[in-house]
Structure 1
């Protein structure tokens, strides 16, 4: 007795209107479409047997004209439809939390700048407000002073970190 039977084709084994449309060799599952366009999959390794529906509904080939033009593609009668936006909603919450965390970090880093305290110059010197790009040497040259007299008048001045908007005292000659 041979292993092949007379009922070995899709027409004899599948319900009426059911058609095999694909096979995935990696998962060993067969894909079928019924007369309404619903997609069904077999259990891995089984060509026939129990089928389970897949959540996507497609119009059968050739039925595009039969569909009413006023009917939406995914109406409630065809089952639930989820858009990609709905599927990505959990990622929105994650990106929102990451964004808020980054805003907090940048606020914290930017808020730790030193406050510039006003400098009181004596009666033998005049105040000069530091601009962007100023250096101790440029300030001394601009006022026709030696750099040593500028440094003596402003004890503790760090020429490598001049605060923009800060004040230095320029000695009068």
Structure 2
């Protein structure tokens, strides 16, 4: 902290009984209140400067809401309550409206990643067998005729259940379907 920082406070720079009560960023003016309740405004763009009276203390106490000075374009910069204090609106809700599409986009991307990567692994495995059939894992040296004879079904039934099977070259490790009624 600097050597003369105590001289930068409101108590050191403002007259006795005067307090800073607000700032209007549109006009660049600070507003002050003196001990009798009168509201004063500073020069535009200056933190401490010559002040001009905006309202009297007695007249502002009689009204429920004190009217702040009105600019030439009709804008009323600051509203005060019945005590003459400036109302403070918490936060800037427009900032959230501006950044909401960004967070919405991030949420959609995360849901898409979840759907494409994690959700298929969590789904229960589907039974690829048609109804009334069981699966058979082809072993090296098996043929369609050997599989049908081992499980007690006809070769035609085996070919009907496996429409895209090539009996001339069965691949070991592939799955073929056989009739469940004939294997029991």
TM-score by shorter chain over 0.5: no
User: Which one has the bigger helix percentage?
Assistant: 2
Task: Give the TM-score normalised by structure 1.
Answer: 0.31
Structure exhibiting the larger radius of gyration computed from Cα positions: 2
